[in-house]
A and B are shown apart, each in its own frame.
Chain A
Amino acid sequence: MTTPVLTVRNLAIDFLVGGDRVPAVHAVDFDLHAGEVLAIVGESGSGKSVTSLAVLGLLPGNARASGEILVDGQNVLGASEKVLSGIRGRKVSMIFQDPSNALDPVFTVGYQILEMLKRHRPQLTAAQRRERAVELLRMVELRDPEDRLDYYPHQLSGGQAQRVMIAMALACDPEVLIADEPTTALDVTVQREILDVLRRLQQRTAAAILLITHDMGVVADLADRVVVMRRGRVEETAPVQRIFGCPEAEYTKALLAAVPRLGAAHRASTAVPHERPVLEIADLVVEYRNRRGRAMRAVDGVSMDIRAGEMIALVGESGSGKSTIGKSALGLAPLTEGHIVIDGVDLATASRSQARALKKRIGVVFQNPTAALDPRRTIGQSIGEPIRVHERLRGGALSARVDRLLEAVELPASWAGRYPHELSGGQRQRIAIARAVSLEPMLLIADEPTSALDVSVQATVLELLRTIQGNLRFACLFISHDLAVVDELCDRVVVLHRGKIVEQGDRHTVLTAPEHPYTQRLLAAAPVPDPVEQARRRNESVAAL
């Protein structure tokens, strides 16, 4: 093999936190060769992002790194700003997770590409730089590249912004492109496009890609070799087929087992078909007005219902209106037309006291448990609040109920006095679930409850949700963008696109034999955690073009 373009040897990084050295990365070794895609996979806290930041000398001031990171034979660690600026953007460049925040909002896209060319290619004339910028935008397959130069970042969609980031990163033909969760903040069909762009560019430019991700599907799609990291250490390094085919490390096996897969679940529907629906939505239209008074239709003529004990998935991409429907059921969105009937009561005509009585019987779990819990209240207080307010329980009776709820979400009752910041993300989401079911709701609305969690944590939270639903038999509206999760959990699936239902039906039918082209596109876009299958699917989609 050729000499690697990037070599990492015995890398150790720790952070100074409150006077203590907290280790983040320990004894990490890997090589990256020209033309290769090396993926670093791991869950949060694995040290994968920190490792990638160290390569460009981007660690925060309280970090200390030792070992060697060689770019072109030059050690980056401890290098002067002068050496670093010769590497950054020139030999190694980087794209980040959240493209809409990664660009300076007050300068045009063109300015930001041109300033980089000006910095690294001072010999080019202004006209040549502009020409190069247009060429770069064309390379990342952005439409109307000339016009786009004058756009500001907020005028671009997430996918377009990420294309600009990639164009910028490739501006000076770097040897290494570091992609830190490049598609995590994007919709699945947009992710598909960005992954395709990355793949084509990589083949064309022969740049090596260091891909940082938590998504096994993305790994299977793009990577040649994989480094699996956990708690700052390398668990396993192997070619991608080996990682998926016969993983050696226990952790890799566990990680792969936790990834939800389409078609993996075999369950019978638990719904009781003859009961009256708990939630009935008929011809729902929700319109928002912008500042100029123009109406924007978020939800357009949606009808659906959920019965007791049933779990219905509402799937769609951002802007599809799925969260708005959840909000409408809670009475938090303007009801422009149509009806929402909960347990026989029409929300539009319900009296104040009726609405209040209904709210008591609806539980909600949101995506981000950190934001959903009051940081100044103990978790016991948070869980107990609905009971205190609605059932007016106090003292011993209240704490007994809280203890039971904590146990129901598989946390020790003795934790009632802890604060949210003492808990992990998954534990916080358990608290949010405990609070949502504290009044034994007839309807639970779960809006992307596991999207902010690691896969292994997600698996346990989903399991918990299913168990609790089995016990309490509430109707559940499960809002999600992840089809594999939906497949594991739900009975029926409703697919939304631009505010309209394009398809709804039994989980198995919709996910294995989708009728609507949009559903088919969604299913095809999600990368599967299997490199062989993913390669086959990619070839198919290329052939279909």
Chain B
Amino acid sequence: MTRYIGRRFIELAIVFIGVTFIIYAMVFTLPGDPIAALGGDRPLPENVQAQLRAEYHLDEPVWLQYLRYIGGLFTGDLGTTFDGRPVGDRMAARWPITITLALTAFAIEVVVGVILGLVSGLRNGGILDRTLLIGTILATSVPVFVLGVSAQLVFGLQLGWFPIAGAGAGWPTAYLLPATVIALFGLASVTRLMRGSVVDTLRSDFVRTLTAKGMPRRNVVGVHVMRNSVTPVLTFLAIDLGYLLGGTVVIEAIFNLPGIGALLFDAIRTHEGPTVVGVATALILIFLMTSVVVDLINSLLDPRIRHE
């Protein structure tokens, strides 16, 4: 087991370095000169630009800049924006909102998706199964912004249950509506995946053995089928959580939540390299950590992974 965890972390380190370098290199080789852009319509004097470039090490080769950056990461320094603020501080203000939003959405997606998938799988081919299939596909097909705006209109304006914008009302009131919209989008995948997994498991020989042993249906489904079906779903959910954290831009904009998605969007628009890389790096780190955690959970659930 320790060996397994060790191997996972080494893999994680390799992926981390590879991916951050690619992002770093891409952001800083993008066309457009952020220093020149700082001055807006009135270009800064040549010597000021040169000084700024030296200050931000932009005159050095990309790989050296990258090494400096990684070195900084280990001392907790995420770099400085071109207007002189630490990237760490800018992100710190934004993360709680995005994390709250994403985790709320994630929780809704997991609980609802797994339950719907289980019910669907047990009623394979029945009316309920088909209704759920159509329902979840519909929910996925409607663009997020349409869902978001409609939800604001119905639940925010007409029914007045939730605020339509801002994080001021706190959790859960301010987050429930946007989180549900995000969750609805991912729900179809989780439900379908869980459903397929349940159907496969129900067909397997050991379920027949359990029935032949005289185990009650409740036990067969609740203990054996659940634990066997949930592994592939978890793997998908790990990827999905990363997506949720980085992909809430549209929802944050619609519901006017000052989260990390809004920050990332602004940073890309203004060629704010250090911020883009900082946010991306943090996202990658979260993404990788989640996948390790999920792998560990999977290996606890399935001894075959543990003993591989």
Contact = CB atoms under 8 A, between A and B. Distances in A.
Chain B contact-residue range equals 20 to 34
A165 B213 CA distance: 10
A443 interface: no
Interface string A65-90: 00000000000000001001111111
Interface in A156-171: 165, 168
B296 to A, nearest CB: 15
Contact of B307 (A56, A116, A152): A152
Given A101-B204, A154-B303, A106 B217 contact: no
A102 interface: yes
B273 to A, nearest CB: 40
Nearest 10 A-B pairs (CB), nearest first?
A89-B214, A88-B214, A101-B205, A152-B303, A89-B213, A94-B212, A104-B206, A102-B209, A102-B205, A85-B214
A88 B212 contact: yes
A116 B213 contact: yes
Given A101-B206, A103-B209, A106-B227, A115 B303 contact: no
Contacts of A107: 224, 227
Interface string B53-72: 00000000000000000000
Given A81-B217, A115-B219, A89 B212 contact: yes
A119 interface: yes
Interface string A140-178: 000000000000101100000000010010000000000
Contact of A106 (B205, B210, B219, B228): B228
A89 B212 CA distance: 6
Given A98-B205, A115-B219, A104 B224 contact: yes
B77 interface: no
B18 interface: no
Interface string A458-497: 0000000000000000000000000000000000000000
A93 interface: yes
Given A106-B301, A154-B304, A155-B307, A115 B206 contact: no
Dominant SS at the B interface? helix
A105 B303 contact: yes
B204 to A, nearest CB: 7
Interface of A: 56, 58, 81, 84-90, 93-94, 96, 98, 101-108, 115-116, 119-120, 152, 154-155, 165, 168, 291
Given A102-B209, A103-B206, A105-B302, A119 B228 contact: no
Given A104-B224, A107-B227, A152-B303, 19 more contacts: A56-B211, A81-B217, A84-B214, A89-B213, A89-B214, A89-B215, A102-B205, A103-B209, A104-B209, A105-B302, A105-B303, A106-B224, A106-B227, A108-B303, A119-B215, A119-B219, A120-B214, A154-B307, A165-B209
B130 interface: no
A457 B301 CA distance: 44
> Among the interface residues B205, B213, B303, B307, which one has the most CB atoms of the partner chain A within 10 A?
B213
Contacts of A152: 303-304, 307
17 contacts: A58-B208, A85-B216, A89-B213, A93-B212, A94-B209, A96-B209, A101-B205, A102-B206, A104-B210, A104-B224, A105-B206, A105-B304, A116-B213, A116-B215, A119-B214, A119-B219, A154-B304
B303 A104 contact: no
Contacts of A85: 214, 216
B89 interface: no
A102 B227 CA distance: 16
Contacts of A120: 214
A116 B214 contact: yes
A165 B205 CA distance: 12
B308 interface: yes
> Among the interface residues B205, B228, B308, which one has the most CB atoms of the partner chain A within 10 A?
B205
Nearest to B224: A104
Interface string B91-113: 00000000000000000000000
Interface in B245-304: 301-304
A448 to B, nearest CB: 22
Nearest to A174: B214
Contact of B228 (A86, A105, A154): A105
A93 B210 CA distance: 11
A491 to B, nearest CB: 40
Interface string B189-216: 0000000000000001110111111111
Contacts of A115: 215, 219
Nearest to B304: A154
Contacts of B205: 96, 98, 101-102
B224 to A, nearest CB: 5
Contacts of A119: 213-216, 219
Contacts of B308: 291
Contacts of A93: 212-213
A108 B303 CA distance: 9
Contacts of A101: 204-206
B76 to A, nearest CB: 36
A255 B295 CA distance: 52
Nearest to B301: A106
Contacts of B216: 85, 119
A523 B227 CA distance: 44
A162 to B, nearest CB: 12
A120 to B, nearest CB: 6
B297 to A, nearest CB: 13
A100 B302 CA distance: 15
Contacts of A104: 206, 209-210, 224, 228
A88 B214 CA distance: 5
A115 B220 CA distance: 11
Nearest to B203: A60
B150 to A, nearest CB: 40
Contacts of B204: 101
Contacts of A90: 214
Contacts of A105: 206, 228, 302-304
A96 B304 CA distance: 22
Contact of A56 (B206, B212, B224, B227): B212
Nearest to B206: A104
Contacts of A154: 303-304, 307
Nearest to B208: A58
> Among the interface residues A84, A104, A154, which one has the most CB atoms of the partner chain B within 10 A?
A104
Contacts of B228: 104-106
A101 B207 CA distance: 10
A101 B29 CA distance: 54
A168 B303 contact: no
> Among the interface residues B204, B209, B210, B224, which one has the most CB atoms of the partner chain A within 10 A?
B209
A99 to B, nearest CB: 9
> Among the interface residues A84, A106, A291, which one has the most CB atoms of the partner chain B within 10 A?
A106
Nearest to B211: A58
Nearest to B3: A292
Contact of A88 (B213, B227, B302): B213
A424 to B, nearest CB: 24
B213 A168 contact: yes
A58 B302 contact: no
A115 B219 CA distance: 10
B153 to A, nearest CB: 44
A87 B211 CA distance: 11
A165 B204 CA distance: 16
Nearest to A101: B205
